[in-house]
Chains A and B, each alone.
Chain A
């Protein structure tokens, strides 16, 4: 029964002390949260720690959740801030978040061989590898927009930026993704030769 309830209904149950509702919220969103956490850190253990902390933070402040936005938008914003603070605390490669240090290297658009290769060879594994090679911000925006189906406004709420900035960042992220795909596919062609 509880599985058919909406997020808001589950939140109400959870706030009334129903532990099953917490479990259901957790089961429903853990794969999305974990996937998003993996966009920030490469290790699965670290990503799991971020996901775990994010859920605990969300549970703690569930009563404060303003129902003006989707629960997922709110939850992803917690994942984003948790991951960013962990990156900063751990003194990891936070400088990589700076766009200027990672210029967009897009191959010539008229490179038909590569383009057709992309057209026919785009597979989940290539995309996964390409996303793994992106900057955390780019990977997050791509993941939220395409995999989690969040709108530009919702992503803006998650990463606390104006929607127009998100749109520009999405465009740059797509270009970098395309560049990464081209690199990966070229490497593969070279290996075959």
Chain B
């Protein structure tokens, strides 16, 4: 290989591994025969090693926390929107099933109902009415039942107030 044609670019390419065989072998042989080229090549290799071993810059210690805080703030509304969307879908689905069932049952009952109630039906209806009335009277007069009902209401009210207060507190913290 003509040594005069070995440019600095070639030497860099050789040091960087950008020249493949057999050209690389020929270049190495030429370099070993020329002290000036050899010195130049050694110099390039030294710069290359220094470049590769340069220390990376370090951002501030709060960098990760800052990026993650911004990222969480970005994804929070998306996540709650997604949650609302899923909940609404479930709610609408359940509501649709109920509405369809009720309308279906209504049509079934109306379709199968006789035009005029029979005497047997009226007698049975009165009997059922009497039983229901007696049961309702006994429930209204039962004090223990009323007490339990009020206790459950009070517990539900306390749970609701607790949730409301904690939600307000959370909103204040975010603000």
List residues of chain A with CB within 8 A of the CB of B54: 124, 127-128, 146-147
List residues of chain A with CB within 8 A of the CB of B59: 30-31, 34, 44, 47-48, 51
- Min Cβ gap A145→B in Å is 8
Would you call A23 an interface residue if the criterion is a C-beta within 8 Å of the partner chain's C-beta atoms?
yes
List residues of chain B with CB within 8 A of the CB of A63: none
Chain A residue at smallest Cβ distance from B7: A171
Would you call B55 an interface residue if the criterion is a C-beta within 8 Å of the partner chain's C-beta atoms?
yes
Q: Are A56 and B63 in contact (CB under 8 A)?
A: no
Contact of A146 among B18, B52, B58 (CB under 8 A): B52
Q: Which residues, 166 to 183 on A, are CB-close (under 8 Å) to B?
A: 167, 171, 174-175, 177-178, 181
Give the distance in Å from the alpha carbon of A178 to the alpha carbon of B50 in the complex: 13
Q: Which residues, 18 to 47 on B, are CB-close (under 8 Å) to A?
A: 18, 39-40, 42-43, 46-47
Q: Are A56 and B43 in contact (CB under 8 A)?
A: no
Q: How many of chain A's residues touch chain B, expressed as a range?
A: 35 or more
Q: Is the interface of A mostly helix, strand, loop or mixed?
A: helix
Q: Which residues, 38 to 82 on A, are CB-close (under 8 Å) to B?
A: 38, 44, 47-48, 51-52, 55-56, 59-60
Give the distance in Å from the alpha carbon of A171 to the alpha carbon of B74 in the complex: 42
Chain A residue at smallest Cβ distance from B17: A151
Q: Is the interface of B mostly helix, strand, loop or mixed?
A: helix
Knowing A118-B47, A171-B9, say if A35 contacts B63 (CB, 8 Å).
Answer: no
Q: How many of chain B's residues touch chain A, expressed as a range?
A: 20 to 34
Q: Are B64 and A124 in contact (CB under 8 A)?
A: no
Q: Are B66 and A174 in contact (CB under 8 A)?
A: no
Using a CB–CB distance below 8 Å, which chain A residues touch chain B?
19, 22-23, 26-27, 30-32, 34-35, 38, 44, 47-48, 51-52, 55-56, 59-60, 109, 115-116, 118-119, 122-124, 127-128, 142, 145-147, 149, 152, 167, 171, 174-175, 177-178, 181
Using a CB–CB distance below 8 Å, which chain B residues touch chain A?
8-9, 12, 16, 18, 39-40, 42-43, 46-48, 50-60, 63-64, 66-68, 70-72, 74
Known contacts A44-B60, A119-B42, A171-B12, then 17 further A-B pairs from the complex at CB < 8 Å, ordered by chain A residue: A23-B64, A32-B56, A34-B56, A34-B63, A35-B56, A35-B57, A38-B57, A48-B59, A48-B60, A51-B63, A124-B55, A127-B51, A127-B54, A146-B51, A146-B52, A175-B8, A178-B47
